[in-house]
Structure 1
Amino acid sequence: MRALFTMKKSAVFQIIGVVCLICQALALEDPSKVSQNIDNVQKNNLKLLTEQLNRGWRAFCDAPVDEGVMSLFQGINPSDARLLVMTITNQSVELPIKSMGQIKDFDIQADRKTLIYVNAFHTADSYFSVQEHLTLLQNSRRDLNVIVVDFAKDVAQLYYAVRHHLSVHGYFVYKILRALKDAGIPMEDVTLAGHSVGANIAALGAQLFAKENKQVVGQLIAIDPATMCRTTDILVKQNVAGRVVVLHGEGDVFGVRVPMGHIDIYPNGIGYFPRRKLQPGCESKICSHMYPFVLFMEALIEGVMIPATKCESWAKFRQGDCNFQNTINIGLVYPSNAKGLYFCLTQPNPPFTYMEHGLRYKTKRLEKSTTKKSN
């Protein structure tokens, strides 16, 4: 028995010795090399996510990233989100999300309509730059209370939003709505808007607000809502707001194809059928996914009219068999009787509108030769 104890004791000391050697090795290792290794893993994470993003949300969500290393970097946690509001001197101010209660201290007025734009789709500086368009929107539409809720600092932030943080982001939007209500902003004058993942986050915030306050916000504008990692996370529904407008763009691997709102607008019919066609001027599906965002921004920032007409289907629109008396313009204001499917034609370059000519399919045939290469 004593011999057995001696053997166990010896084994314990051997293990302790090995652990000590490991600890010494780690202590001697250059901290800069450890940091460099972590940075290399993170670079690979971002490379994987960028590559998989081009294949759609399912591939993006299943990317074999090292989440342990990714979580070490800033911009991952929902609390890293930011708010952009305007001062009375026309200056844009960035606030941490935890300061949402201070919104009432900025240029928010109860006699204006309010637009809360939820951004969860980061883009590099380019023609489709989300951040640049939103800055222009805030600076140009001083007739509105424009609040930007930015959850997208980088592609890693987007990954965590679609995989883990959707419910927390939605709760933040709900809290912003509560803060505005407490500040005397009429909820019927509030429009929530968002593109892609942001559309589902905005819908969740509206849903939580309706549940807790027995009151719905006036309007939700969902710009090509993302198909997400799980179908249960597709949250754009008619009952979350007084009016739900869906502006479709891609409808294959990024955006939801089926009608989801009181009003569903299909520019160029893309996404209405599961055919792999692209929006005018686009050479990729992700470009088609971004295309309706640019249409929406052109309508709001430039004041451009982009009309669409009610029609039973895309086939009927191509035949010219539509109710051309029932038309709407992409933007924030819609007739109270507008409901159903709407179609229009738009151009590959700004200004995107064909004006009233975009209500007739024959315009598409005239422009076919100029857009064939892009499609």
Structure 2
Amino acid sequence: MAALSLLLGCILFAAAHYAVGQRRNTVCYARLGCFSLEYPFNNTDVLPMEPAFINTRFYLFTNPQETPSIISEGDITNSLEHSLKFRPELETVIIVHGFLQNGQVDWMAKMAIELLKRKQQNVILVDWGNGAGFPYSQATANTRVVGAEIAVFVSSLNHVLGTSNAKYHLIGHSLGAHIAGYAGSRLPGLRRITGLDPAQPNYQNFDIQVRLDQDDADFVDAIHTDGSDYDTISGYGMMLPVGHIDFYPNGGKDQPGCPRQSFMNIITEEYEDGTSETGNIISCSHSRSILLFTESINSPCAFRSFQCSNTREFLAGRCFGCGSLPCPTAGYSSIQYRARGKFYLATRSNTPFCGQQYLIRLKFGRFAYPTYGTLKLKFLTTNGISDPVVFSGLQRPFASGQSRNAMLVELDHLGDIVQTQLEFHEQRSFFSWDRSSGIAIEKVSFTKTETNKSFYFCGNGLRMTSNSHAGLHHRQFSSQC
């Protein structure tokens, strides 16, 4: 009898622990369903927090001159009676923030205002700030609940007001992009999702059910701006294509005008300017996707892009021209194009970011030793002087016969190029103090991306020593110098 009791006790103990284990791997919430840590949702080791704690809120914008009002999903009819007027016949845009942010961040309001300037539509800002904080793994888990909350919210609007999924456009930054994906997976026929630098950590190498993908809406577009290898201070976005069309400004990482991130940069900035500026350093490339999309909404300049397999091919000039289809523009208007795949473009380093894109190719002549330094090029045109293009030989030295490529982005079309102006500064080292070979310039080529036509300035082995200037005058359309 004692043995039987012991056996029964062991069975009950094991069953109790199994049940606890099951509870720890799955959690269920009213209206939202159940969330498990089982595959494919094994991208984090924690379950989503209680919806009541995350406290997802929805702020309605219908007029840029008025303060947004809260819509309660649980009582939509009453909320709308006491809020700015929601117009069900119009399209609705829902904007979702990412990690360490909330619904009051400036960029969300600025984007909403630009959207309302563009045309009449409903704009809703999603605030899940309570669930977006540290640790990152918990915020990652919480995205599933927020996505489910948005889906329930949209479904409720459809039921009460007669709207349909086909009238909704979700825009999400970082973790917000994946939230939009989770919402879209529950809303068949959703019109569009725009992912602004979708978050990489906990998503990059996991099943597509875990991240934003092109099955989450009828049209999914993404802008990738911080896709370098994740190293805790950069690489917050993913390079992996996630949509019907994916844009890679400046190669999708290390955006121009953003400081090169390092622990020393961060420590220095923290000391000199405080933690807010430190955050700007860390998130500069990651946040650039927001600025580019916001600018694209009403900009007279189109972010023209070119289909390409990678950055190397783009900078080699092998991708200009879009065949029989028009080249798509990155950002708000990308849905108007039939093109699909990966597209590359170059932008300026500060606002306005959009401009006319030109490819500059530099070919060195023969010289004795690898040389460290910088070479600055400017172009004298019939409309004035271009912005500078700087080729750096500080990390990788200039070498005999080497080629370097870079993009020049100008606010306006350049006139006819009259002269290429060059300025060379050598960086001497202890090991090269007795070497003064300088560099030699074989040729400089200039390609207009709109027409894919090039012309060339021949240097014919022009020698340049440190702190010297030179000009190339002879322009020709043949690459033979």
**Shorter-chain TM band:** 0.5 to 0.7
Give 3-state SS (helix, strand or coil) of 2:124's partner: strand
Q: CA deviation at 1:86?
A: 2.6
Q: CA deviation at 1:248?
A: 0.4
Give 3-state SS (helix, strand or coil) of 2:338's partner: coil
Q: Are the equivalent residues in 2 in contact too, given 1:348–1:371 (CA < 8 A)?
A: no
Quote the Cα distance in structure 1 between the aligned partners of 2:237 and 2:197.
5
Equivalent residue letter for 1:343: Y
Aligned-residue CA RMSD in angstroms? 3.8
Partner residue of 2:241 out of 216, 240, 259: 259
Distance 1:86 1:131, change over 3 A: closer
Distance 1:111 1:135, change over 3 A: closer
Quote the Cα distance in structure 1 between the aligned partners of 2:291 and 2:73.
30
Answer with 1 or 2: which has the greater Rg: 2
> What does residue range 117-266 of structure 1 map to in structure 2 within 5 Å?
117-122=95-100, 129-134=106-111, 136-137=113-114, 140-141=117-118, 143-152=120-129, 156=133, 159=136, 162-182=139-159, 183-210=161-188, 216-229=189-202, 231=206, 234-251=210-227, 252-253=229-230, 254-266=236-248
Q: CA deviation at 1:203?
A: 0.4
Distance 1:138 1:151, change over 3 A: farther
Quote the Cα distance in structure 2 between the aligned partners of 1:85 and 1:321.
45
Give 3-state SS (helix, strand or coil) of 2:218's partner: strand
Partner residue of 1:294 out of 281, 291, 295: 291
Structure 1 stretch displaced more, 221-230 or 148-157 = 148-157
Equivalent residue letter for 2:247: I
For residues 164-204 of structure 1, the C-alpha deviation after alignment (integer angstroms, 9 at most, x for no partner) is 32221011110122133232334223211101000000100
Quote the Cα distance in structure 2 between the aligned partners of 1:309 and 1:294.
20
1:337 maps to 2:338: yes
Other-structure match for 2:314:
317
Other-structure match for 1:368:
389
Q: Are the equivalent residues in 1 in contact too, given 2:62–2:116 (CA < 8 A)?
A: no
Q: Are the equivalent residues in 1 in contact too, given 2:178–2:199 (CA < 8 A)?
A: yes
For residues 289-323 of structure 1, the C-alpha deviation after alignment (integer angstroms, 9 at most, x for no partner) is 11111101111255652221222332222122225
Q: CA deviation at 1:77?
A: 1.9
Higher RCO (Cα < 8 Å, 6 or more apart): 1
Give 3-state SS (helix, strand or coil) of 1:329's partner: coil
Equivalent residue letter for 1:201: I
Give 3-state SS (helix, strand or coil) of 1:361's partner: strand
Quote the Cα distance in structure 1 between the aligned partners of 2:61 and 2:85.
6
Q: Are the equivalent residues in 1 in contact too, given 2:132–2:142 (CA < 8 A)?
A: no
1:282 maps to 2:255: no
Other-structure match for 1:353:
354
Structure 2: gaps (5+ residues): 1-43, 231-235, 262-281, 362-375, 378-386, 395-481
Q: Are the equivalent residues in 2 in contact too, given 1:345–1:361 (CA < 8 A)?
A: no
1:269 maps to 2:266: no
Q: Are the equivalent residues in 2 in contact too, given 1:162–1:229 (CA < 8 A)?
A: no
Question: If each structure's strand is expressed as a fraction of its own residues, which one has the higher value?
Answer: 2
Q: CA deviation at 1:104?
A: 5.5
Other-structure match for 1:45:
none
Give 3-state SS (helix, strand or coil) of 1:281's partner: coil
Q: CA deviation at 1:92?
A: 2.9
Other-structure match for 2:85:
107
Percent identity over paired residues: 24
Q: Are the equivalent residues in 2 in contact too, given 1:122–1:158 (CA < 8 A)?
A: no
Quote the Cα distance in structure 1 between the aligned partners of 2:154 and 2:283.
31
Quote the Cα distance in structure 1 between the aligned partners of 2:168 and 2:141.
28
Distance 1:226 1:141, change over 3 A: same
Other-structure match for 1:43:
none
For residues 1-48 of structure 1, the C-alpha deviation after alignment (integer angstroms, 9 at most, x for no partner) is xxxxxxxxxxxxxxxxxxxxxxxxxxxxxxxxxxxxxxxxxxxxxxxx
Distance 1:336 1:95, change over 3 A: same
Other-structure match for 2:422:
none
Distance 1:328 1:156, change over 3 A: same
Quote the Cα distance in structure 1 between the aligned partners of 2:163 and 2:314.
40
Q: Are the equivalent residues in 2 in contact too, given 1:227–1:234 (CA < 8 A)?
A: no
Q: Are the equivalent residues in 2 in contact too, given 1:76–1:156 (CA < 8 A)?
A: no
Q: CA deviation at 1:162?
A: 2.3
For residues 311-347 of structure 1, the C-alpha deviation after alignment (integer angstroms, 9 at most, x for no partner) is 2332222122225243112233323421011111101
For residues 202-249 of structure 1, the C-alpha deviation after alignment (integer angstroms, 9 at most, x for no partner) is 100000122xxxxx2111111111124353574111111111111101
Distance 1:161 1:306, change over 3 A: farther
Other-structure match for 1:39:
none
For residues 25-81 of structure 1, the C-alpha deviation after alignment (integer angstroms, 9 at most, x for no partner) is xxxxxxxxxxxxxxxxxxxxxxxxxxxxxxxxxxxx99xxxx9xxx9xxx9922x22
Q: What is the aligned length?
A: 288
Structure 1: gaps (5+ residues): 1-60, 211-215, 272-277
Question: If each structure's helix is expressed as a fraction of its own residues, which one has the higher value?
Answer: 1
**TM-score normalized by the length of structure 2:** 0.52
Q: Are the equivalent residues in 1 in contact too, given 2:93–2:122 (CA < 8 A)?
A: yes
Quote the Cα distance in structure 2 between the aligned partners of 1:195 and 1:101.
26
Q: CA deviation at 1:163?
A: 4.2
